[in-house]
């Protein structure tokens, strides 16, 4: 089966795991969806997506909501274009440092009313976004060219979970990247697939 929708990816992941797929019996293929979601998150590091978002600043407020798909803050142009001298009445002072802490955007120190008056209340910023494996193929953000890489990383997650369950029997899995059948313990396969993922994602 091909395609970048969730159902097609789950079907191919199941098939590649062969008999090992029977261990994952969560309703609505929840285990396989979890493996794919973790693989997509890992792929965001190797295949970053840059998006833009904006928040409205309030004087004295340091923390702001961020998009649900934010993985890492990148940069902002707020205040970057200001030209002047410290002795000018319009000088905004030291600009806040930006951090993402516990799922919120923090500007430290909090912007002042003077800074907002000089630089504007709209704080636009670039951020690195997580990849999404969606039900609708059109909403999946992973490039189709990275499909096998995504499946390989999902296989690594599945093998890691099997290893955590103290499974010592060998597992036979069809490598999502090379297509070769691999037989080993789940822990060894997890290490193998992770290494292949790193090489393939370069």
Query: Measured in whole angstroms, how far is the alpha carbon of residue 69 from the centre of its chain?
Result: 7
Percent of the chain whose predicted confidence (pLDDT) is above 90: 74
Q: Give me the chain's average pLDDT, please.
A: 91
Cα dihedral 96, 99, 100, 102, rounded to 10, equals -90
Amino acid 166: pLDDT: 63
Q: Each residue of 35-91: pLDDT tens digit?
A: 999 999 999 999 999 999 999 999 999 999 999 999 999 999 999 878 778 888 888
Largest Cα–Cα distance of the chain, in whole Å?
Answer: 73
172 phi and psi angles, rounded to 5 deg: -110, 120
Q: What is the pLDDT of residues 127-154, one digit of tens each?
A: 999 999 999 999 999 999 999 999 999 9
**Cα distance between residue 67 and residue 51, in whole Å:** 10
* Span 111-129, average pLDDT: 96
């Amino acid at each position: 089966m091909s395609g970048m929708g969730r159902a097609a990816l789950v079907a191919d992941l199941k098939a590649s795991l062969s008999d090992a797929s029977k261990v994952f019996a969560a309703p609505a293929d929840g285990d396989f969806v979890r493996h794919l979601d973790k693989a997509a998150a890992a792929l965001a590091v190797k295949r970053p997506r840059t998006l833009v978002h904006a928040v409205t600043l309030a004087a004295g407020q340091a923390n702001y909501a961020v998009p649900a798909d934010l993985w890492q803050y990148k940069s902002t142009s707020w205040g970057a274009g200001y030209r002047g001298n410290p002795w000018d009445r319009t000088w905004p002072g030291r600009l806040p440092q930006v951090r993402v802490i516990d799922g919120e955007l923090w500007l430290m120190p909090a912007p002042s009313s003077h800074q907002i008056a000089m630089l504007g209340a709209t704080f636009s910023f670039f951020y690195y976004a997580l990849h999404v494996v969606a039900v609708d193929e059109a909403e999946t953000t992973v490039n189709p060219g990275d499909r096998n890489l995504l499946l390989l990383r999902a296989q690594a997650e599945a093998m890691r979970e099997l290893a955590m369950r103290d499974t010592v029997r060998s597992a036979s899995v069809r490598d999502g990247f090379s297509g070769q059948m691999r037989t080993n313990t789940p822990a060894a396969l997890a290490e193998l697939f992770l290494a292949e993922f790193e090489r393939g994602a370069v």
